[in-house]
Structure 1
């Protein structure tokens, strides 16, 4: 695969992720849960097939867990014609991120934020490692609250509230978290 094609696929994937709440809102207000689920499935399967066509056996199952969970939610929407399956995707993604970040907080593991920090600065002293652990905890709390908010909106609120939150506010809050961590790290460690 050429570099240009890889970049194009990454950009397309990012657009689809960001546009998902708006597309679901439009679809649910004009078509219905089953039709939207089928459309999402039609967009998702070719991308997954392309992405995993050359996956090696050793890492295959660790990489396909999230897409399989997404497919199960989509098939749930098709089978039941219930919009909550479509609205549950952001909740599931936050749950996966919570587990991924949280699993790096166990004893002996390198916290997720420390992994990112070491990409820029391979040697971190104890104070920086503590900072990274604290921010990994902060991200876990964020994913818990963000997923909980998306779940509450999916179950209890009009679909446009869910759309505004998952399609805009959640991204803004995530950006604030990134910026806050960066600014605190710069102020604390120079």
Structure 2
């Protein structure tokens, strides 16, 4: 249940920060990052190395925000999340099985070699997405208005993620049909 709260707060984070800017001091908003970090630790996801890094990063950003009373560290959280996701997906490619293969095996434990190759390719595409999305998140944090930052990180990036998921689902249906026909 706590993981759902962490997920919801992470998704709503850019909009919460945007709504608070100009009304609440950034150091007060650092509490949100602190809560996210502590909830992530309490949810049991703190055991994995990547999860520990994102918790440490969130706590560092919270401390920097509190000390500097500036919004920039708050706006860097989406960059941190994208870097963490990139690391998780990339490490799974190096160590295997890939994240997408693990997810696919939840519904079909006996994947043929063609499906394993497909899942590796999809994992590579997600790595590219997290790299690009994290780069745009960084650009919006450093060089755009808070409104643009919130629009991209609180809406557009989620829309792009949904498009990627939906597009992959359509491609997967075609690939499965082709594999079944051969």
Would you say same fold, with TM above 0.5?
A: yes
Q: Which residue of 2 aligns with 1:47?
A: 39
Q: Which residue of 2 aligns with 1:188?
A: 175
Q: Which residue of 2 aligns with 1:93?
A: 81
How far 1:84 moved relative to its partner?
1.1
Q: Does 1:67 align with 2:59?
A: no
Q: Which moved more, 1:161-170 or 1:123-132?
A: 123-132
**Tell me, which stretches of 5 or more residues in structure 2 are unaligned?**
178-182
Mark the CA change 1:89 to 1:27 in structure 2 (over 3 Å): closer, same or farther: same
Q: Which residue of 2 aligns with 1:12?
A: 5
TM-score normalised according to structure 2 size: 0.87
**Cα distance per residue 1:88-130 (max 9 Å; x no partner):** 1110010011111011222x62111111111111111121111
Task: Tell me, yes or no, if the aligned pair for 2:3 and 2:40 is still in contact at 8 Å.
Answer: no
Among residues 119, 124, 138, which one is paired with 2:111 in the alignment?
Answer: 124
How far 1:147 moved relative to its partner?
0.3
Mark the CA change 1:183 to 1:168 in structure 2 (over 3 Å): closer, same or farther: same
Q: Which residue of 2 aligns with 1:149?
A: 136
**Tell me, which stretches of 5 or more residues in structure 1 are unaligned?**
1-5
TM-score normalised according to structure 1 size: 0.84
How far 1:14 moved relative to its partner?
3.0
CA-based RMSD of the aligned residues comes to: 2.0
How far 1:32 moved relative to its partner?
2.8
Mark the CA change 1:44 to 1:129 in structure 2 (over 3 Å): closer, same or farther: closer
Mark the CA change 1:101 to 1:155 in structure 2 (over 3 Å): closer, same or farther: same
How far 1:67 moved relative to its partner?
1.2
Q: Which residue of 2 aligns with 1:84?
A: 72
Q: Which residue of 2 aligns with 1:169?
A: 156
Q: Which residue of 2 aligns with 1:34?
A: 27
How far 1:48 moved relative to its partner?
4.7
d(CA) in 2 for partners of 1:37, 1:75: 7
Mark the CA change 1:71 to 1:131 in structure 2 (over 3 Å): closer, same or farther: same
**Cα distance per residue 1:12-40 (max 9 Å; x no partner):** 33331222111101112212322221354
d(CA) in 1 for partners of 2:79, 2:168: 23
Mark the CA change 1:48 to 1:133 in structure 2 (over 3 Å): closer, same or farther: closer
**Cα distance per residue 1:144-166 (max 9 Å; x no partner):** 00000000000000011010111
